[in-house]
Structure 1
Amino acid sequence: MAFVTFLNELSFPSGQLNAHDAVAVVVGLVKTLRALKVIHADTALHSSVSLPNIPLGEGLWLGPVMSAGEARDEWRYIRSIQNRSPFTAGLVNPVGGETEYQHGGVTAAALGLSHALGTLAVSFPTEGWLHATINVQRLHLDAKGKIDEDTVSVVHVAVPEHIATNEEWIRSAWIAKVADGDELWQRRAELFPHLKFRPDVEAQLQVLKPGDVLLASVGTALMDIELALSTWRPSDEKYPAFKTRVSPEGETRSRMFRWKDLDGVERDFDLHSRYTPGAGRVHFWCDRRDGTATVGHVGEKLPD
């Protein structure tokens, strides 16, 4: 399943651009997409028009400009990204016929879809779009014919630095699109590159069914550990800087969590994070040798 993003049509370059400047704008977009694919290798970019037909100012279009030879590598790269245009193809009224998103008084189709579907908006690095979030107006026509309006924020990238700013959201948002615990297990290496799992965890994850509220809780708990590991410097720090409560078991209970690691060596898995509802626990062991962690248990708190 691809990580779907929407290309903001309001960021398409406008006005008078020479070919060199037009190429530079596209190269900027490619840099952002390359940085995004480090996190999600299966990124798909959906646009309102096919990529070759995207306007780059007056009288210029992306296909002819990029195929002229100044940036052929970037042109090959951008063509390699899965693209659907128009981006409403295959989407059954995702926003709703009574709802419209606007930015600056202009309909914002891609930004609206990104917000409605809970995914990422991508822009060309043009004036007005160099922000990691974009506020848009959401207008909704209620059953009485009255228009309600509110302002919502769309997570957005236009330069590689925005991906660093939004990295936690970009990683975590994908958890919501995992269908069930079996998919979570099957895609564990992709979603959690710094986590390894004892074989027992497979069955513990596979009991999580579609629609189970615990699915999102478990996925978020694992992602919180993954994000902490991704910035861990084991040579300088004993443990990662966890953003949620992580603690070891007390002396008496800690003996219960001495289990064999994947290499057959017994290790202490008493370090744990928590999730709800219930008394959910993720027990793991941090490996300072390579900056990873092995997960030994995902489930309810084990009784004494």
Structure 2
Amino acid sequence: MDLEMVLNELSLRSPAYDIPTARQWMSELIQTLREATKSGVQRVLRTSDEINLLILAPDYSIVRWRNDPEVDLEERRFFKTLTQKYPVWTDVAENIKDSFDLSDVFHEDERAKGLGFAFLIDGLAVSFQSESKWNSHHLELKIQRLDEEGELIDEIEEIKHASRVNHLFEHTEWIKQRIETNIKNGLDIWNRREELFPNLSFCECVEEQLQSLNDKHPMLQLVKSRLLKLENYCKNWSDGTFESNSLGKTSQESQITLQNPKYQNERTFLCPDGQDRLFSWHMKLSRWRIYFFPQSPRQKIIIGYIGLHLRTVKYYN
């Protein structure tokens, strides 16, 4: 999926005091959207299906703003092009959420549907400058998921965000990398693996696993972003000790699982050098896992498996 922008509907939870302030908010938002599109972000603003009914100020909705003769005509036209041709995020959010085993997404204990969708598509969240909390280039979300035993757990994630032009400067490298590594599907990841991930090597079995990721698969962007994390880690891996702290939700398999021959076999993969290795390290992507083998002191990483959560002593798939 291309890099798209998603409107944070919570930033209009408290409308402006008057119409001039509402016009200013819209103008600041549009400056941010313009700058983002100049950087290569798609001219798409995903919104809720009530976008035109959102209240900017008392008795002043976005519909009224779009027809306000005191508002710059080019601003109105630009906003219209971003919102009229593309499906609203509510059309697809539930299907994606189901694939991630998500229950809900919160920002500061408030349900955040738009921000949750931005997280799911690895998009850029954008907000009105209505409260000081939105004056940040990152936002922290609480993600509620079902764990391996069906229990609801909370996890913390950060997403890229902008409500001012200067916030975009913090995302320059991310935007560039996100655009340059635009992936069509899982097979595209495989075919471009040497170009995109020169410090990673892939077991042959991964090719077949990646074929399940079509262009609309909800895991495609997350798989790509996690592989890029591993690639970037290798670029900065300066000594022989592998440390997982900077890689997010990464851990080793429990010994009780690894000692079981059945589960051990499921984690043993034939590597590119012809050697069978037992893979314990893995990155967690909701119901999916990426199993990898750090090669120390070579500062390289082997990818052994990308797919649904493998069975464990406690998790039977």
State the TM-score, normalized to the length of structure 1: 0.58
CA drift at 1:153: 0.3
Secondary structure of 1:3 counterpart: coil
- Deviation sequence 1:112-146 (CA, Å, 0-9, x none): 11112212111112212010000010111336442
Matched, 1:156 2:161: yes
Shift of 1:174: 2.9
1:114–1:121 CA contact under 8 A, matched in 2: yes
Q: Secondary structure at the match of 2:195?
A: helix
- The alignment yields a C-alpha RMSD, in angstroms, of 2.9
Gaps of 5+ in 2: 199-234, 237-298, 303-317
Residues 173 and 151 of structure 1: CA distance in aligned 2, closer, same or farther (over 3 Å): same
Aligned pairs for 1:1-304 within 5 A:
2-12=2-12, 14-15=14-15, 17-40=17-40, 42-71=42-71, 72-83=73-84, 84=86, 86-90=88-92, 93-96=95-98, 98-127=102-131, 128-142=133-147, 144-179=149-184, 209-212=187-190, 215=192, 218-219=195-196
Counterpart residue type for residue 60 of structure 1: Y
Q: Aligned partners of 1:142, 1:218: CA distance in 2, in Å? A: 35
Letter aligned with residue 89 of structure 1: D
Name the SS for the 1:43 alignment partner.
Answer: coil
1:91, distance to aligned residue in structure 2 (A): 5.0
Is the CA contact (8 Å cut-off) linking 1:7 and 1:123 kept in structure 2? Answer: yes
Q: For residues 126-174 of structure 1, give each alpha carbon's deviation from its aligned partner in whole angstroms, at most 9, with x where no partner exists.
A: 2120100000101113364421111110111111101111111112123
Aligned residue number for residue 289 of structure 1: none
Counterpart residue type for residue 90 of structure 2: T
Q: Structure 2 length as normaliser, TM-score?
A: 0.55
Deviation at 1:43, TM superposition (A): 2.4
What do residues 8-31 of structure 1 show as CA deviations (whole Å, max 9, x unaligned)? 111125245211111110001100
For residues 165-206 of structure 1, give each alpha carbon's deviation from its aligned partner in whole angstroms, at most 9, with x where no partner exists. 1111112123453227xxxxxxxxxxxxxxxxxxxxxxxxxx
Moved more, 170-179 or 20-29: 170-179
Closer/same/farther in 2, CA of residues 175 and 93 from structure 1, 3 Å limit: farther
* Distance in 2, Cα, partners of 1:277 & 1:98: 30
2-side partners of 1:219 and 1:69: how far apart? 49
**Following the alignment from structure 1 to structure 2, what is the Cα–Cα distance between the partners of residues 92 and 40?**
28
Matched-pair contact (CA < 8 Å) for 2:43–2:81 = no
Deviation at 1:216, TM superposition (A): 5.5
- Deviation of the 1:73 alpha carbon: 2.1
Q: Rg: which structure is higher?
A: 1
- Mapped contact 1:6–1:120 kept (Cα < 8 A): yes
In structure 2, the CA distance between the partners of 1:105 and 1:57, relative to structure 1 (3 Å rule), is: farther
Distance in 2, Cα, partners of 1:160 & 1:98: 31
Code of the residue aligned with 2:81 in structure 1: it is S
Change (3 A) 1:90 1:115: closer
Q: Aligned-pair distance for 1:78?
A: 0.6
The letter of the residue matching 2:24 is A
3-state SS of 1:95 partner = helix
> For 2:161, what is the secondary structure of its paired residue?
strand
Q: CA deviation at 1:106?
A: 1.5
| Distance in 2 separating the partners of 1:16 and 1:167 | 30
Do 1:134 and 1:154's aligned partners in 2 also have CA atoms closer than 8 Å? yes
Which residue of structure 1 aligns with residue 210 of structure 2?
none
Report the Cα distance in structure 1 between the residues aligned to 2:6 and 2:59, rounded to whole angstroms.
Answer: 24
**Aligned 8 A contact 1:48 1:85 in 2:** no
Please tell me whether the aligned partners of residues 127 and 134 of structure 2 are also in contact (alpha carbons under 8 angstroms): yes
Count of aligned pairs between the two proteins:
199
Distance 1:46 1:156 in 2: 14
1:23-42 per-position Cα deviation (integer Å, ceiling 9, x unaligned): 11000110001100111263
One-letter code of the match for 1:101?
A: V
User: What is the Cα deviation at residue 52 of structure 1?
Assistant: 2.4
User: Cα gap change, 1:119/1:176 in structure 2, threshold over 3 Å: closer, same or farther?
Assistant: farther
Render the CA deviation track for 1:210-240: whole Å, top value 9, x for unaligned. 231x62562478xxxxxxxxxxxxxxxxxxx
CA distance in 2 between counterparts of 1:102 and 1:217 reads 38
Give me the whole-angstrom Cα distance separating, in 2, the residues matched to 1:51 and 1:75: 14
Matches of 2:168 and 2:102, distance apart in 1: 32
